[in-house]
Amino acid sequence: MPKVTRKPLIAANWKMFKTPDEAVAFVRAFIPLVATYSHAEIVLSASPTLLPTVVAAAKGTAIHIAAQDMHWKESGAYTGETSPLQLKAIAVTHVLIGHSERRQYFNETDETVNLKLKAALAHGLVPIVCVGELLSEREAGKTASVLESQTAAALVGIDPAIAGPLVIAYEPVWAIGTGKTATPEMADEAHKIIRAQIAKSLSPEIAASTRILYGGSVKPASTAALLALEDIDGALVGGASLEPESFSQIVANSAV
């Protein structure tokens, strides 16, 4: 499956960090650091209250803005939720779906991930769907089965004709915020499993063009080795995305 057709995507996940002023300061410092890079798609994922501010700060640049979650309904009595229509109205272009922290702490399920993916595609948002195994699952030799199951469940009922924007992020849950990182070879093996499942669920052509990101304690020093591998098409970056200098270095190092 040729990698040459897949443009790298480097996404920051700020999680529940930054005030509006801090977010604006980040974007202003970050823009000149990445102004000359066109090899990768750059995405900043921010908390709901920051989204309008970050969209405005990045206006006129090639930087895209993502929500960290959304509901699958367009409207309704769902206190605290955000709809795809609301995201589109403020010029958000991407959305994270099924992040491991949403699954672990907020009862996200394979079924709700599927509903959100369908809504994102229907409303023209670029979905970044997260899948990944726990440490206990890896140690029990269940990595492949977990990745196949989560990917297959996310893609149930997805029309291949509109699946072009799909992005998958592989998150080894045991490597998030722990300082542990899967070796490039471990990550590439997991990405191959995910890509094979996309081929089964949708089509080999969709699988060949779908970008699969690595997201597990990504640092500037590890980026080049990860992105050099055939099936790793970018990164979903947590802690190292909170400072403009370190995140811009990850963007720079993804040009392999």
- Per residue in 151-188, pLDDT tens? 999 999 999 999 999 999 999 988 876 667 688 999 99
Q: Give the C-alpha distances (Å, rounded to integers) separating 102 from 121, 129, 130, 232.
A: 20, 12, 10, 23
| CA R_g for the chain | 17
Q: Specify the residue for token string 């895209």.
A: 64
Residuewise pLDDT in 10s, the chain (256 residues)? 444 479 999 999 999 999 999 999 999 999 999 999 999 999 999 999 999 999 999 999 999 999 999 999 999 999 999 999 999 999 999 999 999 999 999 999 999 999 999 999 999 999 999 999 998 898 899 999 999 999 999 999 999 999 999 999 999 988 876 667 688 999 999 999 999 999 999 999 999 999 999 998 899 999 999 999 999 999 999 999 999 999 999 999 999 7
- Cross-strand partners of 128: 96, 167
CB 64 within 8 A of CB 44: yes
Length of the chain: 256
CB 129 within 8 A of CB 113: yes
Give CA–CA dist 99/127, Å, rounded. 11
Spot the catalytic one: 99, 101, 108, 137. 99
Annotation marks residue 171 as catalytic: yes
Give CA–CA dist 127/138, Å, rounded. 26
Q: Specify the residue for token string 């509109």.
A: 162
Reduced to 3 states, what is the DSSP secondary structure of residue 24? Answer: helix
Q: Which amino acid is at 95?
A: V
- Per residue in 205-235, pLDDT tens? 999 999 999 998 899 999 999 999 999 999 9
Task: From the options 3.20.20.70, 3.40.50.300, 3.40.50.1000, 3.40.50.1010, give the CATH code of 9-253.
Answer: 3.20.20.70
- Cross-strand partners of 126: 94
Q: Give the C-alpha distances (Å, rounded to integers) separating 182 from 13, 56, 141, 188, 215.
A: 19, 36, 15, 9, 10
Annotation marks residue 139 as catalytic: no
- The pTM of this model reads 0.95
Spot the catalytic one: 133, 137, 171, 191. 171
